[in-house]
Structure 1
Amino acid sequence: MSDEARDRFEIPKEMRTMAEASFEQARKTFEKFVAAAQAAAGSIEERGATVREGAKDVREKAVAYAEKNVQASLDHAQLLLKAKDLPEVMRLQSEYVQAQMRALAEQASEMSQIVGKAAIEAAKPKV
């Protein structure tokens, strides 16, 4: 491939559409996850001072996850911009989607543990 052809490399419309769909799916999944975490945090906050710490942990973790996921998306976009050919774009997209799905699963598991711990603390009788 000549330097001129490499400089003019454009992502085919079909690949761009697939990448956008994958990104949209990951974004929607994360938005649902954050909404559920926020709803859980809101209901936990109603339990009083004992639970505020747990709700704070949930909020902090949700923000940290959001920051991590946005950074991963930006890093991925930067890698796509540097792709030299279609196979590299496909490989990068596949790796990104797999990594994001793993990250979202881990985040959901961690958030579940945090919310569960907060709920247990909230249910403890006050002494």
Structure 2
Amino acid sequence: MWASDSLAYYIGKGMGKRRLYKEVSPNKTIAGAFGSVIGGMLSALLLGKLMMDNIAFYVLIAMGIAIGSITIVGDLIESMFKRDAGVKDSGSFIPGHGGILDKIDGALFAGPLLYWITLIL
């Protein structure tokens, strides 16, 4: 999920023009959302082959798409909470990174999804 967040940030900053959901998070772009999905796929392929060698390539791709997509949802929901509270950052523990909640927002949603996927497999 951090690969999804990182690729979303770099692709969004570098190529993003159209806003994903301006009212909730004005800096998130559609290009960044695609970056999140690509980051999810790449990390699923890498980690899947390192840790779960018996899982098929297409299953790892599907897992990556699911993780990359749900990471976007977690990030938007966390942004909604901050917007409702009237704050820009969820804390100052990590200066310039928006706080701890900004670092784990995707994991709060991606973790349970990954757990359910691995139970099914």
Instruction: Sort the TM-score into its range (normalised by shorter chain).
Output: 0.3 to 0.5
Q: Greater relative contact order (Cα 8 A, min sep 6): structure 1 or 2?
A: 1
Which protein has the bigger strand share?
Answer: 2
Q: TM-score, normalised to structure 2's length?
A: 0.36
Query: Whose Rg is larger?
Result: 1
Q: TM-score, normalised to structure 1's length?
A: 0.35
Which protein has the bigger helix share?
Answer: 1
